[in-house]
Structure 1
């Protein structure tokens, strides 16, 4: 008992030292207003009371994760699940956006959240379990996938120099991929199985409605440079370079075919925040899935490997599960267009993607969701 008391004193003292300099002050708070577990950690920042999120996690048994690139944090215990973004007053809990009243801020190297939110939401022990946004099957089994064939109908996608259409290649590869995954025990849903137009927002909605374990969108690349070639896999994030940004703009151009298409504006800020938080939560798994597929493509396809990249593809936005977009080759390159016309090469592409998905599933299930 004495050792525990000394240990608590040492932690409190070290944290007080960390927060002494600067504009923040430690206010006096009525003992009955705040949980004793948080009371000694309150810091006033811009006239609002905050506590370090990592201390809240430690005292209420939450696991903590931090995305240094996106500047977002996630916490989870057996009952609760939250996602925070630096500078935003909104938090994601389950599949709902909650207004914390004040934004999450970085102070002295720690992410701070409003003490009222920590007290009323994070510290509350609920009887029902709040699961992550995407559905993880019992015993971490992955069995449900949505395969999306890009473009279709009035939207041809990219067009090759010899007239090959992206929409036709994407559909053929998607159907082949679906058949291979079904043979491996997956429940597979195609966003389209024929030459028809489907709005970009509708595609990911299908995946959400099916509670898919992951979403794979099949496309063919294009470029003004005739010698551009190769296979690459994308996950949703900010574009890392100009080439990725231009590619996203090209694929997102399908919005022009949609009547009354959904556009991001100030009236749907909450939806944008939800999308941002959800995509951040799934980003690690999306990168891993993309990596496994890229590795298999390197082994099985006789084409240049361009690796795993990020870009702001509209078709991936709003996905409540790991989601990737595969660019199977450059239709504007004469050599690759010729390959993409061949059924055996399309089958090899589908096989590489399927094998990558199987590798991901095996590792995910073996490590219980990459937890060990």
Structure 2
């Protein structure tokens, strides 16, 4: 049976990137890794981990442990960080590793179901890719510094695990038996149209489209997305733009997509402001 080594990035005194509301990369990575492991084990895959708690392990030691264990696949989980507008998913393989690039592509194809901003497969000379002797990939699940990405990194960890486990199982030619579903009533075509409109249209047109999509009605108080809506609406009001009508996700699209749409709206406004300032 296949042996998969799961590596949660950072740990202990090294928090990795720290995002909004003190969300730490090391915590997201560990939570997702443990969930992936449980799914793989339920399908008969033999699993081992670099860490299963909050401890620091040097990079070379992680590779050495996986090599000594005889892993067939090594998957390292991370979160990206940059300026607040940077967003999306990406994955790395070691330069020249065609099989690594293939698995990286398969993982991203699944993760696109939670974040359609795909930054692609890249090659990197990271220690955990360079020093491991098996098929190895490093996954950046999203930008912890970004409003939209950090929302699902904090709240959709089970789905992040299910999607990546699906990709790993398919790569191993094991049929996934995973019951998780995406809460999508908006079709992919509609979402793509919205994103396309963001790129082509003036700010006002994008806002009208977003408002139309987020009009199904409010949900009960205390939804985790409310603070992000409040923050966005304060930003819109300060720029003389009508606020988004709905204050939380209901039935139009996934919670993560709602945040993404709002983030795109913010970017559209800022892009419009910059263009006006340059005239």
TM-score (norm 2): 0.60
- CA distance in 2 between partners of 1:303 and 1:329 (Å): 11
1:197-212 equivalent positions in 2, closer than 5 A: 197-212=56-71
Specify the alignment match of 2:23 in structure 1.
164
**Among 81, 84, 100, the residue aligned to 1:226:** 84
The superposition leaves residues 235-254 of structure 1 with CA deviations (integer Å, 9 ceiling, x where unpaired) of 122xxxxxxxxxxxxxxxxx
1:66-145 equivalent positions in 2, closer than 5 A: 143-145=2-4
- CA distance in 1 between partners of 2:105 and 2:149 (Å): 22
Residue 162 of structure 1 deviates from its aligned partner by: 2.3
Residue 336 of structure 1 deviates from its aligned partner by: 1.5
Specify the alignment match of 1:326 in structure 2.
139
1:359 aligns with 2:217: no
**Among 100, 104, 107, the residue aligned to 1:290:** 104
SS of the equivalent of 1:332 reads coil
Residue 196 of structure 1 deviates from its aligned partner by: 0.3
Residue 150 of structure 1 deviates from its aligned partner by: 0.2
SS of the equivalent of 1:362 reads coil
Specify the alignment match of 1:340 in structure 2.
153
Q: Which is strand-richer, 1 or 2?
A: 1
Q: Which is helix-richer, 1 or 2?
A: 2
1:173-192 equivalent positions in 2, closer than 5 A: 173-192=32-51
- CA distance in 1 between partners of 2:115 and 2:99 (Å): 27
Structure 2 residue ranges without an equivalent (≥5): 175-279
1:236 aligns with 2:91: no
- CA distance in 2 between partners of 1:351 and 1:306 (Å): 20
The superposition leaves residues 319-367 of structure 1 with CA deviations (integer Å, 9 ceiling, x where unpaired) of 111100000010000222122111xx1111111111111111119xxxx
TM-score (norm 1): 0.45
Specify the alignment match of 1:112 in structure 2.
none
Specify the alignment match of 1:214 in structure 2.
73
The superposition leaves residues 12-43 of structure 1 with CA deviations (integer Å, 9 ceiling, x where unpaired) of xxxxxxxxxxxxxxxxxxxxxxxxxxxxxxxx
Residue 161 of structure 1 deviates from its aligned partner by: 3.1
The superposition leaves residues 155-179 of structure 1 with CA deviations (integer Å, 9 ceiling, x where unpaired) of 1100103211100000000000000
The superposition leaves residues 36-92 of structure 1 with CA deviations (integer Å, 9 ceiling, x where unpaired) of xxxxxxxxxxxxxxxxxxxxxxxxxxxxxxxxxxxxxxxxxxxxxxxxxxxxxxxxx
- CA distance in 2 between partners of 1:316 and 1:222 (Å): 20
The superposition leaves residues 75-130 of structure 1 with CA deviations (integer Å, 9 ceiling, x where unpaired) of xxxxxxxxxxxxxxxxxxxxxxxxxxxxxxxxxxxxxxxxxxxxxxxxxxxxxxxx
- CA distance in 2 between partners of 1:217 and 1:347 (Å): 17
- CA distance in 1 between partners of 2:37 and 2:16 (Å): 21
- CA distance in 1 between partners of 2:59 and 2:84 (Å): 28
- CA distance in 1 between partners of 2:137 and 2:103 (Å): 8
Specify the alignment match of 2:275 in structure 1.
none
Runs of 4+ with deviation above 6 angstroms: none
Structure 1 residue ranges without an equivalent (≥5): 1-141, 238-279, 364-372
Q: What number of residue pairs does the alignment pair up?
A: 174
Residue 315 of structure 1 deviates from its aligned partner by: 2.1
1:309 aligns with 2:122: yes
- CA distance in 2 between partners of 1:194 and 1:236 (Å): 27
CA RMSD of aligned residues (A): 1.4
